[in-house]
Amino acid sequence: AQSVTQLGSHVSVSEGALVLLRCNYSSSVPPYLFWYVQYPNQGLQLLLKYTTGATLVKGINGFEAEFKKSETSFHLTKPSAHMSDAAEYFCAVSEGGATNKLIFGTGTLLAVQP
Amino acid sequence: ETGVTQTPRHLVMGMTNKKSLKCEQHLGHNAMYWYKQSAKKPLELMFVYSLEERVENNSVPSRFSPECPNSSHLFLHLHTLQPEDSALYLCASSRERVNYGYTFGSGTRLTVV
């Protein structure tokens, strides 16, 4: 069965600093990987996804993630944090198939300090 | 506007009440999902509907009853809930067999008193 581990339930960075949110996955088949962001009292919004092809994927709001099969990782990065990036971030894995079932990590709450 | 609309946004109900949550999408998706999001717990997949047929029920108590009358609408009927059922209930939709990811609604914040 697939699973996702997000290291660090809380991450705090200064405005302008690098953002690095870690995600490791477990999957018995080539995975499809996703990052979602959730702002307070909102649903989840898709940031970016990896399905096939280029292992470095770019998403919205300046975020990107790199699929590393050898490390079973899909870490999310952004070169320079903005105050508006403060939110909760979820990594998810899907094995595809008819229902595209997504399995989510426990989330990482990102705080951005001025 | 996310493309998936959930109503109501907030709901307070007593343990003996019956209420329903509604989810609507007009994205042309044909799979819909209910998730439960509780504080300090992972997102829990409750139900999956594909082409209006329930294809997954993850050991959800019978006090939660889903209904999918067509590909655009999904309901979650609630009755005799417990305080531990208080959570954010999220609806999502996707295209079957295409991994574009899910589109989520804004959720219904449910409080059981």
Per-residue pLDDT at A97 exceeds 70: no
Check CB contact of B31 with chain A, cutoff 8 Å.
yes
Q: Cα distance from A19 to chain B (closest Cα, Å)?
A: 22
Q: Are strands B44-50 and B53-57 parallel, antiparallel or unpaired?
A: antiparallel
- Choose the closest CB to B99 out of A44, A45, A96: A96
Q: Are strands A108-113 and A10-14 parallel, antiparallel or unpaired?
A: parallel
Say which residues have a Cβ less than 8 Å from residue A93's Cβ, sequence separation at least 6: A2, A3, A4, A25, A26, A27, A31, A32, A33, A34, A102, A103
Q: What is the mean pLDDT of residues B13-33?
A: 93
Contact residues on chain A for B41, CB-CB shorter than 8 A: 106
Check CB contact of A100 with chain B, cutoff 8 Å.
yes
The phi and psi torsions of B79 (rounded to 5 degrees) equal: -155, 145
Per-residue pLDDT at B1 exceeds 70: no
Contact residues on chain B for A107, CB-CB shorter than 8 A: 42
Per-residue pLDDT at A98 exceeds 80: no
Judged by average pLDDT, the poorest of A34-38, A102-106, B13-17, B56-60 is B56-60
Check CB contact of A31 with chain B, cutoff 8 Å.
no
Q: What is the mean pLDDT of residues B37-59?
A: 83
Average pLDDT of every residue of chain A: 92
Check CB contact of B2 with chain A, cutoff 8 Å.
yes
Give pLDDT tens digits for B88-98.
999 999 887 66
The gap from C-alpha A6 to its chain's centroid, in whole angstroms, comes to 9
Q: What is the mean pLDDT of residues A27-41?
A: 88
- Choose the closest CB to A51 out of B55, B97, B99: B99
